[in-house]
C-alpha cells in the first residue's frame, strides 16, 4: 500500500501554504492530519476490496504464431485500475499493460517448450485517489509451444490442391514406383525403365508400364541437437528452424501415405520414435521441447543405431558450417548410405551470405567479407562431398527450408529411391 502522487501533492500544498501564509501551526498540523487520514481511509477501502479476474487460457501455440490474449478484472469502488501481465522471455506480449479493467493484447510464441505465464498484477487506487495497491491475481498458467505444425498442414493442403488441379485426384499418386497400375502408350517423358518390351513387340508400338508411387514406406527424421544447432538463426536457433522443417516434412509424409518416425541425438541418442502411420503429430510432440547442448554430436553412434533398421529414407537435420566442422559427418555418413536413402538438410545463414556479398567500405569490412567467403566456400565443398557420397542435400534459406525438405522427399519418391 503506497500513497499516490495526489496525496503527495496535497501534503506539499499544505507545507507551501504554511511557508507562505501566516497560519497557526495547529492549522497546518490539522490539515496535514486530514490529508493523512483521508489517505488511510482510502487505503482501508482498498484493503477490503478483493479484485476478481479472468484470463483467456492460451491454447497450444505454434512457434512464431500470434494469438489474442485477454485479462479482465472486476473491482468496485476503485478510482483507477491498471492491469499488467508479465511473461517469460520465451513469450512476447504486446501491449504488456493497459489502463482500465481489461487488457487486450497479442501473445507471441518465440521459443518451443512449456513455459509458465505468471500471475497478472492489478494496480488500483482508492475512491479518493490518495492510496494505491498492487495485487497479483490469477494462478500461473502453463503454455505449451510446438513447432509450426499449422503452417505445415497449410503447406500440405496447398500441395494437394495444386496436384488435384493439375492431374486429378487419381493420377496424383502415379509415378515411378513398384506398385503396378496399368500398361499405356509410351510418352517421351517416360523413364526407360518403364518400357514394357513384351507389350511393345506384341502391339507394334512403344508401351510403358504405369506404376503407383510407393506407399507405406518409412521415413526417419534424425535431428542433431549438438552445439552447432544452438547458433542463432531467423529469430531463434538452428534447432528451432530444423524442427519447423521436421513438422512440414512429417505432415507431407502423412499426406503421401508413408510412415514417419524420429530420432534425436547429440553426444548420444536421446529420443527414438519408431515410424508409424499418421505419425506427424506424434513426431512433433516427441521433439517439441528439445534444446541444443554444448557437446559435439556423435554422428557415428547415432548412425550405427539407425543403420540396422529396414531400408528407409533417413532425413538428417544438422548444421554443415564448414569443411572442418563437417568432417565427422562426412566420415560417418557412408554407414547409412550402404542401406538407406539419405537426405541431409542444412540451412544457410543469411547473415553470412549478406556479409560475403556486401560492398566493403572499410578495411575491417574487407577482412570480414573475406572470412565469410572462405566459410561459404568451405561449406560448399563439404556439401559437394556429401552429394558425391550419394546423399541428397537440401540447402535453403530459413524461410524456404521446410518447403525445400518436402521437395527433396517428393523427388526421392518419384525416383523410387525410397
Question: Residue by residue, what is the 3-state secondary structure of the chain?
Answer: CEECHHHHHHHHHHHHHHHHCCCCHHHHHHHHHHHHHHHHHHHHHHHHCCCEEEECCCCCEECCCEEEEEEEEECCCCCEEEEECCCCCCEEEECCEEECCEEEEEEEECCCEEEEECCEEEEEECCCCCEEEEEEECCCEEEEEECCHHHHHHHHHHHHHHHHHHHCCCHHHEECCCEEEEEEECCCCCCHHHECHHHHHHHCCCEEEEEECCCCCEEEEEEECCHHHHCEECCEEHHHHHHHHHHHHHHHHHHHCCEEEEEEECCCEEEEEEEEECCHHHHHHHHCCCCCCCCCCCHHHHHHHHHCCCCCEEEEECCCCCHHHHHHHHHHCHHHHCCCEEEEEEECCHHHHHHHHCCCCCHHHHHHHHHHHHHHHHHHHHHHHHHHHCCEEEEECHHHHHHHHHHHHHHHHHCCCC
225 and 347 both lie in a single domain = yes
Give residue 166's pLDDT: 54
Residue 187 lies in a domain: no
Question: Of the residues 117, 146, 175, which one is the last residue of a structural domain?
Answer: 146
CATH of the domain at 53: 2.60.40.10
CATH of the domain at 406: 3.40.50.410
Question: Of the residues 113, 146, 179, which one is the last residue of a structural domain?
Answer: 146
139 and 218 both lie in a single domain = no
Residue 243 lies in a domain: yes
Q: How far is CA 324 from CA 181, 227, 328, 343, 349, in A?
A: 48, 15, 8, 20, 17
134 and 251 both lie in a single domain = no
Give residue 165's pLDDT: 56
Give residue 287's pLDDT: 94
Q: What residues in the chain have per-residue pLDDT under 50? A: 168-176
237 and 140 both lie in a single domain = no
Question: Of the residues 128, 146, 164, which one is the last residue of a structural domain?
Answer: 146
240 and 373 both lie in a single domain = yes
117 and 228 both lie in a single domain = no
- C-alpha grid cell, residue 30: 490539522
Residue 190 lies in a domain: no
Residue 233 lies in a domain: yes
Task: Say how far apart CA 266 and CA 170 lie, in whole Å.
Answer: 43
220 and 344 both lie in a single domain = yes
236 and 355 both lie in a single domain = yes
Query: What's the total number of domains in the chain?
Result: 2
Give residue 180's pLDDT: 62
Q: Which domain holds residue 20?
A: 1-146
Give residue 178's pLDDT: 53
120 and 259 both lie in a single domain = no
Residue 340 lies in a domain: yes
This prediction's pTM: 0.75
Residue 173 lies in a domain: no
Give residue 274's pLDDT: 93
136 and 255 both lie in a single domain = no
246 and 385 both lie in a single domain = yes
CB distance 71 to 53 below 8 Å: yes
354 and 227 both lie in a single domain = yes
* Per-residue burial over 263-278, b = 16 or more CB atoms within 10 Å of its CB, e = otherwise: bbbbbebeebbebeee
Residue 185 lies in a domain: no
Residue 32 lies in a domain: yes
Amino acid at each position: 500500500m503506497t500513497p499516490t502522487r495526489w496525496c503527495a501533492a496535497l501534503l506539499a500544498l499544505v507545507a507551501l501554504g504554511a511557508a507562505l501564509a501566516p497560519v497557526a501551526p495547529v492549522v497546518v498540523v490539522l490539515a496535514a492530519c486530514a490529508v493523512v487520514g483521508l489517505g488511510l481511509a482510502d487505503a482501508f477501502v482498498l484493503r477490503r476490496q478483493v479484485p476478481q479476474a479472468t484470463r483467456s487460457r492460451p491454447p497450444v501455440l505454434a512457434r512464431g504464431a500470434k494469438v489474442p490474449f485477454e485479462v479482465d478484472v472486476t473491482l468496485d469502488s476503485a478510482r483507477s485500475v491498471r492491469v499488467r501481465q508479465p511473461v517469460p522471455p520465451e513469450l512476447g506480449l504486446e501491449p504488456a499493460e493497459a489502463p482500465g479493467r481489461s487488457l487486450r493484447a497479442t501473445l507471441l510464441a518465440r521459443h518451443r517448450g512449456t513455459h509458465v505465464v505468471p500471475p497478472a498484477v492489478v494496480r488500483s487506487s482508492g475512491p479518493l485517489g490518495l492510496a494505491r495497491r498492487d495485487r497479483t491475481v490469477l494462478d500461473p498458467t502453463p503454455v505449451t509451444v510446438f513447432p509450426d505444425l499449422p503452417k505445415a498442414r497449410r503447406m500440405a493442403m496447398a500441395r494437394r490442391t495444386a496436384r488435384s488441379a493439375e492431374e486429378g485426384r487419381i493420377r496424383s499418386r502415379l509415378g515411378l514406383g513398384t506398385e503396378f497400375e496399368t500398361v499405356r502408350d509410351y510418352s517421351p517423358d517416360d523413364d526407360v525403365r518403364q518400357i514394357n518390351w513384351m507389350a511393345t513387340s506384341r502391339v507394334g508400338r512403344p508401351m510403358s508400364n504405369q506404376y503407383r508411387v510407393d506407399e507405406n514406406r518409412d521415413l526417419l527424421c534424425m535431428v542433431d541437437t549438438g552445439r552447432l544447432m544452438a547458433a542463432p538463426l531467423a529469430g531463434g536457433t538452428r534447432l528451432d528452424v530444423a524442427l519447423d522443417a521436421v513438422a512440414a516434412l512429417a505432415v507431407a509424409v502423412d499426406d503421401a501415405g508413408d510412415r514417419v518416425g524420429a530420432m534425436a541425438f547429440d553426444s548420444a541418442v536421446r529420443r527414438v520414435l519408431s515410424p508409424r502411420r499418421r505419425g506427424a503429430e506424434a513426431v512433433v510432440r516427441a521433439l517439441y521441447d528439445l534444446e541444443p547442448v554444448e557437446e559435439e554430436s556423435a554422428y557415428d553412434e547415432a548412425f550405427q543405431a539407425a543403420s540396422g533398421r529396414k531400408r528407409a529414407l533417413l532425413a538428417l537435420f544438422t548444421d554443415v558450417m564448414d569443411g572442418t566442422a563437417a568432417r565427422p559427418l562426412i566420415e560417418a555418413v557412408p554407414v547409412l548410405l550402404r542401406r538407406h536413402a539419405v537426405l541431409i538438410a542444412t540451412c544457410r545463414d543469411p547473415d553470412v551470405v549478406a556479409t560475403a556479398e556486401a560492398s566493403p567500405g572499410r578495411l575491417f569490412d574487407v577482412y570480414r567479407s573475406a572470412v565469410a567467403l572462405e566459410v561459404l566456400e568451405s561449406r560448399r565443398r563439404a556439401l559437394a562431398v556429401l552429394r558425391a557420397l550419394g546423399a541428397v542435400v537440401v540447402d535453403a534459406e530459413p524461410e524456404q527450408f521446410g518447403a525445400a525438405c518436402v521437395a527433396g522427399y517428393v523427388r526421392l519418391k518419384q525416383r523410387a529411391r525410397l
